[in-house]
Amino acid sequence: MDSEALKKYSALHPKPAGLTLQYGTAGFRTKAEQLDHVMFRMGLLAVLRSKAVASTIGVMVTASHNPEEDNGVKLVDPLGEMLHPSWEEYATQLANAEDHELQKIINEICQKAAVNQHKDASVFIGRDTRPSSEKLSQSVIDGISVLGGQYHDYCLVTTPQLHYMVRCQNTRGQYGKATLEGYYEKLSKAFTELIKQSPSSGDHQRHLKIDCANGIGALKLSEMEPYLPKEVLIHLYNDGTKEKLNHLCGADFVKAHQKPPRGLDMKPNERCCSFDGDADRIVYYYMDATGHFHLIDGDKIATLISIFLKELLAKVGQALQMAVIQTAYANGSSTRYLEETLKVPVHCVKTGVKHLHHKAQEFDIGVYFEANGHGTVLFSKAAETQIRQLAKEEKDDEKKEAAKVLENMIDLINQTVGDAISDMLVIEAILALKGLTVQEWDAIYTDLPNRLLKVQVADRRVIDTTDAERRAVTPPGLQEKIDALVRKYKLSRAFVRPSGTEDVVRIYAEADTQENADALAHEVSLAVYHLAGGKGAPPQP
């Protein structure tokens, strides 16, 4: 390693005094002007990680659903998954090191992680449409180059597309071609095959309005449009030509405010969906004849996919084990429907995509979605091999057809990470094949009314949880108090958990009516305020 070059380049990307950042589930995220040194150093880290695992590593420059002024960066591991937790530590150390300590910290990482400095390194880079992203990705390139790494810059891509490229590269093309064209071809071919089987349900079924959050999703969907079959008519709104990224639009806005995004005119019973800023989340919604807004979130998407896969598995007659993975935020009605009506096992894990993804890997088929619309389906190697073999060799026609549909689903789903484009095509294919309208999908079960609140506390660490964050262990007496409050209401539950990023405690409550859910959430917030060191004035109803 050329320490003079490192010194010289590091001086071009100095660390602002007194700034400390933490690498979390979303990587690093903050105001764009504070990130130059972090980008340079993540270029360095990507090279070290690549040498350590002798594979291509991805670096994505994005802050997803955050405001346009923010930016961020996350690393992508060899199979398109999130960075290994032990390396999150190294990322945090490297980002917070003083300029003169860089060399020392790099040497320490190499020692701890057994990095072979003589190995080649290869890094894929992508970025979103933020004004700051191009310059910041150049800083990443500086970091890669100083340590002699090779790189390929994909420029503007969705986050899931970069994850996909990394996996294609490291599976030597087994997962697909590591090009945008390869991505569009693989997904559109599988989608076209699926749509062929659908009972013709008239032209009106095929229109879909998409709010692209004024982000990268609009660019990539318009690139993909020529690949899609003529029956599908997608109409893009908030395409980034007029308004700011994520401003009053996008999946996160729609989910949080339970109302349509700005810039999309909804007519009764039209199917609409929203992507988030980097196109890794999706939610659907529609307005009924009375003008009432209906949100279809990640829980209902997971349920639709599970119903469809379960029917296909019954047809192919294979004993493949399927499960749905949720967090404590999943609506109680969805859990009840999956377990009691559909008879599919449901597992609850801690909040955060990495926990869901990890648990989903334990099954032949693992379906996971967060309520916010981030999710995908994982197929085990054995299940995939079995399904592809049946699609090729099965003598029984019905079984063979079902296996072919499953095979196309495997190709349509981006198994690396939640992908709004891929998830949208999966949903559109299932609705077409089952002949379902958006209202019929919504009516599968009715969400229990719920309320999310947060309470400011002096120190969020006073709250410790267990049972996938559904029960509080500390402070003493809090859980008993919550249990007593929950007993007052029908079909109710509530839980509290410390925020991962700020000194607030998040509260979730659901009950048989909105009034009761609101009352329960408020009473729980008072209990947190009094028992966990609330700051400022007590919560008001």
Give the phi and the psi of residue 205 in degrees, each rounded to 5. Answer: -65, -25
State the DSSP code for 174: S
Q: What string of H, E and C letters represents the secondary structure of 374-427?
A: CEEEEECHHHHHHHHHHHHHCCCHHHHHHHHHHHHHHHHCCCCCCCHHHHHHHH
Backbone angles phi, psi at 344, to 5 degrees: -110, 130
- 467-473 contacts, C-beta under 8 A, 24 or more apart: 468/327, 468/328, 468/348, 468/349, 468/350, 469/327, 469/328, 469/350, 469/351, 469/495, 469/497, 470/328, 470/348, 470/495, 471/495, 472/496
- Torsional sign, CA 262, 263, 267, 273: negative
- Residue 42: how many CA atoms within 13 Å on its side-chain side? 31
Classify residue 231 by its DSSP letter.
T
Among candidate residues 10, 50, 64, 132, the one labeled active-site is 64
Interatomic CA distance for residues 399 and 330, integer angstroms: 33
Q: Does 64 qualify as catalytic in the annotation? A: yes
Could you list the residues known to form a binding site for substrate, using ranges.
Answer: 370-372, 497-501, 506
| Spatial CB neighbours of 516, under 8 Å, sequence gap ≥ 6 | 449, 489, 490, 492
Q: Name 41's Cβ contacts closer than 8 Å, sequence gap at least 6.
A: 13, 94, 95, 97, 102, 143
Contacts with 304 (C-beta within 8 Å, 6 or more apart), sequence order: 427, 430, 431, 441, 444
Residue with tokens 């290994």: 84
CA atoms of 22 and 428, how far apart (whole Å): 38
Task: Tell me the C-alpha to C-alpha distance, in Å, between residue 380 and each of 211, 248, 348, 410.
Answer: 33, 39, 20, 11
Q: Which residue has the tokens 């959430």?
A: 521
| Residues near 226 by beta carbon (within 8 Å), at least 6 away in sequence | none
- Binding residues, as ranges, are 64, 276, 278, 280, 370-372, 497-501, 506
Q: Annotated active-site positions, please? A: 64
